[in-house]
Amino acid sequence: MRNSILLLTLLAMTLIPMNPSIAQGSSAQHSMTIDDLFRFDRVAEPALSPDGNWVAYQLTKNNIEKHESQTAIYLSAADNKSPPRSLTNSGKKDSRPRFSPDGKSIVFQSNRSDSMQLWLIDVQGGEARQLTSLATEASNAVWSPDGKKIAFLSTVLPEFSELPFEASDAANKNAIEEQSKRPATARIFTRLFYRHWDAYVEGKRQHIFVLNLKQGPNGLAPEGLPIDATPGDRDAYPTSSTFSSNEDFCFSPDSLHLIFTAVPVENESWSTNFDLCRVAIDNRSTKWPTLTKANLAADSGPRVSPDGGSLAWRFQSKPGCEADRWHIAVAKLTADGQIESPPVNWTAGVDESAGEFVWLNNEQIIMTADQRGAQQLLSIKAPAASTGNASSKSNVSLFSTDGGLHSGLNASQNVVVFSRSTMNQPAEIFVQRGRTPAINISQANHRLLSELKLPRPESIDQITIEGDRKMQMWLLKPPNFDPSKKYPTVYLVHGGPQGAWEDGWSYRWCPQLWAAQGYVVAMPNPRGSTGFGQQFVDEISGDWGGKCYRDLMTGADYVESLPYVDKDRIAAAGASFGGYMMNWFAVNTGRFCCLITHCSVWNFESMWGTTDELWFDEFEHGGLPWEQPEKYREFSPHVKAAALGKFKTPMLVIHNDLDFRCPIGQGLELFASLQRQGVPSRLVNFPDEGHWVNKMPNSRLWHVEVFGWLTKYCPTNRD
C-alpha cells in the first residue's frame, strides 16, 4: 500500500506542475505548507476536575516520516500557573480522559493492549491499570455520581447480549474469530442500515455496560464482571453523529439507573425518532422504558444538574428533519432518574440551534450555537415562570465574546473548559471563570504558530441576496498580500448543506493552506447555512439548485468586483453538498476556470437507494423517489449532463470507496459523463477512505492533487 501511494504521488507530481509554495519552508517565518498541517499538535476532549482546579485532555502528535501518530493524556492546572505535563506516554492512542467524582483518578480509553479498552490512572501519576478486556472493546466511559461504577460502550452481537457476561463475551469472540477465518467474503443483510459512514454494521449493536469498582491495594479496581444493561437488538447510543450530543448517556442521581439516547425502535434507516430511555444498571430486559414518548422527533444527550434535581436534553420538533433546530428541554428529576414534571423549553425564544451543552450550575446551562460564521458559547437560564415554554431572549446571553469555534464543553464549580479554534489558530484548551477572558492552558502550538504567516480572515456581512436578505462571507487573503496586485481566487462551498464556514480550524479543508498557495479564498454562507436563523436553514430543503445557487452566483459577482481579484482566474471547490454544488456549477455556468468536487452528489435518483441515512434524502425531496420523481430530478445535475460538454470546465473528481454517505457511484457516474464528452477531468480515488480523507499519506496526496489542479488551470503566476 505504501509503495502504491508513493507511485501515485510521483505520478501526480509528474502530470501536474507543483506550486512552489508547497515545498517545505525555512526556519524563518514562512507561508504554511502541506507538511506544516501535520506538524501541529492536536488537542481535544478536555475534562475538568470536580474541584475546578485541573484539566485533563488528549494531545496527538504526528510522525510525518513514519506516517504515524500517538495520543497521550495531558494534565494542566486550570489557573495556568504550572505548565501541562504528560500523564501517559504509551506511544499508542490514550484518549478521552474523565475524572472520578473525588478527583483522584482518571479513566481513559486506549489501544495499548492492542484493542481499545478502558484504563485507570491516578491523577498523581504512576502506572495505568487496565479495567476492561472485552472481545468487542470498550469506550466512552462515564462515572457514576457515587464513584463506584463506570458505564461504557461496546459494540456487540445482539443475539448473545442476554447471556451472562462470560458466555456473551466468549460468544462474541468466537464469532469474530470465525468471521476472520471464513474463505467466503460475502456479507448478507436482512434489513436496512447495514452500513454507516465508512463501515459495515455487520449486525452489531452499541450497548451500554456497567462495571462496578472497589478499593484495592493499588487503588480502584473492577469488582465482578461488566453487565450489559441494554441487551437486545437495538442501539443504546446514536448511530448517527447528527443526533449525538458528545455525551449521550449518564447515570441517575442515585447511581442505580442509566439514562441514554436510543435509536428508533423501528424504521431506523428513515426515522429520526431518537428517544431518551432509562434502565436499571443491572437491567436484563430488552424492553427499555422511554422517557420522551410524546416527541416523535429526535431527543438526545441527557445531562443531570449538579444537585441531581433536574434533567436537561436536546430535542427537535420536526420528525424526519435532521437539520431542524435543536432546543434544550429541562424537567424535574427523581433520584432514580424518573422525569416528574412537564419539560420546559429553555431555548424557545432563541433562533439559534443548540449544539453541545453543559450545566454550569443548577440554574444555568452553557451551550454552543452557530452565530453568523462562528460557533459561540451562550448562557441559558430558566425562562421566567410567567412565560412557561414561550421563553424570550431575556434568558439568553453571550457567555464568551472571543468568537471562534468551541467544542468539548465541560464544567464544574462555575468554571468552564472547552477547546477553541479560529481560522488562524488550531484548537487549544481554554478555561473560563465567569465572564473573565478565557485562558489558553494547553499552548500546544505556540512555537509552530510563531513560525507561520497566517493571515486573519475578514467577515463580509452585507452581500444582498434574493429576497432582500444578507449573506455573510469569509475572505482570506494570501500571506504578503499586496492590494495593488491581481490575485487568483478559490471560491469554496461548504458541505451539509445545513452547515457553515465558521471562524474555526480544519485539518481536512484548511483555508489557511489554500491561501498560502497564493490564492484569495472566498467562503460564502448562502441559503441553508446555519447560524443565520432557522428560516435561512430551512430554505435549502427541496431547493438545492435554486435560491442557494443564485446566492452563490451573487457572491461570485461580489468576489469578481474586488479590485485585487483577477476575474479570469476564479476556481471553485467543495465537498459533499459543496461537491454537489460544483456539479451544479458544471452544468449551469462556465464562469469558473476549473472545479474540484470531493465526495459529491451527481444523481439524486441513484443516491437514494445507496446512501446510508435515508431520512435525509426523503425529507429533502419530500418523499420517496416513486412518490416524488420530479423532485428527485429537478435539481439533479445528471439530468443536465449534456451541459458538461457545453461549458467544458476542467474538473477534478475525488471520490472514495468507503464513502457510504455519498457512495462511490456518484463520482464514477460524473467522471464517465465528463470523459465521454471530452471535458478535461481527472479522477482521484482512495479505496481505503470514506467521506473524508483522514490517513496522513492519503491526506498529503489529496492536497498535492488539489493544489496541482489549481496550479494547472488557475495558476498563481499568469506567465
Residue linked to cell 461504557: 152
Residue 554 Cα distances to 463, 470, 471, 550, angstroms: 8, 11, 9, 6
- State the Cα–Cα distance between residues 103 and 119, nearest whole angstrom: 16
User: What is the per-residue pLDDT across 226-277, written as a single tens digit (0 to 9) for each?
Assistant: 999 999 999 999 999 899 998 999 999 999 999 999 999 999 999 999 999 9
- Is pLDDT at 587 greater than 80 in this prediction? yes
Q: Model pTM?
A: 0.93
Q: Which residues contact 632 (CB under 8 A, 6 or more apart)?
A: 604, 605, 608, 621, 625
pLDDT confidence bin for 7, thresholds 50/70/90: very low
Tell me, what's the pLDDT at 401? 76
What average pLDDT does the structure give for the chain?
A: 93
Tell me, what's the pLDDT at 718? 66
Measured between alpha carbons, how far apart are the two ends of the chain, in Å? Answer: 38
- Is pLDDT at 1 greater than 50 in this prediction? no
Q: What is the CATH number of the domain that holds 593?
A: 3.40.50.1820
> Is 380 inside a domain boundary?
no
In order, the DSSP letters of 157-211 are -GGGTTS-HHHHHHHHHHHHHHHHH-S------SSS--EETTEE-TT-EEEEEEE
> Is 656 inside a domain boundary?
yes
Tell me, what's the pLDDT at 18? 37
Residue percentage of the chain with pLDDT more than 70:
95
- State the Cα–Cα distance between residues 705 and 304, nearest whole angstrom: 48
Tell me, what's the pLDDT at 19? 37
User: What is the per-residue pLDDT across 140-189, written as a single tens digit (0 to 9) for each?
Assistant: 999 999 999 999 999 999 999 999 999 999 999 999 999 999 999 999 99
For residue 62, what are the β-bridge partners? Answer: 69
- Is pLDDT at 20 greater than 80 in this prediction? no
> Is 244 inside a domain boundary?
no
CA atoms within 13 A on the CB side of 713: 24
Tell me, what's the pLDDT at 549? 98
Tell me, what's the pLDDT at 595? 98
> Is 131 inside a domain boundary?
no
- Is pLDDT at 539 greater than 80 in this prediction? yes
Which H helix or E strand runs over 620?
A: helix 614-621
Residue percentage of the chain with pLDDT more than 90:
89
Tell me, what's the pLDDT at 3? 38
- Is pLDDT at 9 greater than 80 in this prediction? no
- State the Cα–Cα distance between residues 79 and 55, nearest whole angstrom: 10
Tell me, what's the pLDDT at 696? 95
Residue 611 Cα distances to 5, 274, 279, 673, angstroms: 28, 20, 33, 21
- Is pLDDT at 21 greater than 50 in this prediction? no
User: What is the per-residue pLDDT across 335-371, written as a single tens digit (0 to 9) for each?
Assistant: 999 999 999 999 998 899 999 999 999 999 999 999 9
Residue linked to cell 472493546: 137
Judge whether 565 and 482 are in contact, CB under 8 Å.
no
The answer to which of 5-9, 318-322, 412-416, 658-662 has the lowest mean pLDDT is 5-9
Can you state the angle between helices 547-561 and 577-586, rounded to 10 degrees? 80
pLDDT confidence bin for 27, thresholds 50/70/90: low
Judge whether 554 and 700 are in contact, CB under 8 Å.
no
Domain range holding 515? 470-713
- Is pLDDT at 403 greater than 90 in this prediction? no
User: What is the per-residue pLDDT across 702-716, written as a single tens digit (0 to 9) for each?
Assistant: 999 999 999 999 999
Judge whether 684 and 654 are in contact, CB under 8 Å.
yes
User: What is the per-residue pLDDT across 62-121, written as a single tens digit (0 to 9) for each?
Assistant: 999 999 999 999 999 999 999 999 999 999 999 999 999 999 999 999 999 999 999 999
Q: Helices then strands (H, E): number in the chain? A: 14, 40
Tell me, what's the pLDDT at 14? 33
> Is 643 inside a domain boundary?
yes
> Is 589 inside a domain boundary?
yes
Tell me, what's the pLDDT at 393? 62
Tell me, what's the pLDDT at 537? 97
- Is pLDDT at 8 greater than 70 in this prediction? no
The answer to which of 3-17, 188-202, 463-477, 605-619 has the lowest mean pLDDT is 3-17
User: What is the per-residue pLDDT across 591-623, written as a single tens digit (0 to 9) for each?
Assistant: 999 999 999 999 999 999 999 999 999 999 999
User: What is the per-residue pLDDT across 363-399, written as a single tens digit (0 to 9) for each?
Assistant: 999 999 999 999 999 999 999 864 445 445 678 888 9
User: What is the per-residue pLDDT across 432-455, written as a single tens digit (0 to 9) for each?
Assistant: 998 889 999 999 999 999 999 999
Tell me, what's the pLDDT at 216? 87
- Is pLDDT at 489 greater than 60 in this prediction? yes
> Is 486 inside a domain boundary?
yes
CA atoms within 13 A on the CB side of 570: 23
| Cα 672 off chain centre by | 31
Q: How many CB atoms lie within 10 A of CB 336?
A: 13
Q: Which three cell numbers mark 694?
A: 483522514
Q: How many domains does the chain have?
A: 1
> Is 605 inside a domain boundary?
yes
- State the Cα–Cα distance between residues 396 and 350, nearest whole angstrom: 8
User: What is the per-residue pLDDT across 615-650, written as a single tens digit (0 to 9) for each?
Assistant: 999 999 999 999 999 999 999 999 999 999 999 999
